[in-house]
Amino acid sequence: AAAKEWGLSSKPITNSLAAMNEALRGGAMIILTGSGAVPFTSKGHFIVIRAVTDDGKWMVGDSAHPAANKQKFDPRAILADANEGSAYAISK
């Protein structure tokens, strides 16, 4: 509903590295929940995966860890801590 309010589309996406990279390369951002190591928190946290780099790393938007917004993350580490079924691709 929030995406629609802002003129965006939102669709569920699998916690698959290939599917997420395809969405990111197509201009989408991904909202994802999980718990564990930064960029998540031990109690659970939402993050935005905002880009995939040329070397396959993910750039995030993370309100709990501002320094994480400048880091590159191994997508496999993020997916290991992600909640299955919590990912949504947001695009124009």
DSSP one-letter code for 91: E
Name residues whose C-beta falls within 8 Å of residue 60's C-beta, 6 or more positions apart in sequence: 39, 47, 48, 49, 50, 68, 69, 71, 73, 78
Q: How far apart are CA 44 and CA 36, in angstroms?
A: 7
**Digit-coded pLDDT (tens) for 80-89:** 999 999 999 9
Closest to 16 measured CA to CA, from 58, 76, 72, 56: 76
Q: Are 23 and 75 in contact (CB under 8 A)?
A: no
* Statement: the pTM of the whole predicted model exceeds 0.85: yes
**Digit-coded pLDDT (tens) for 20-78:** 999 999 999 999 999 999 999 999 999 999 999 999 999 999 989 999 999 999 999 99
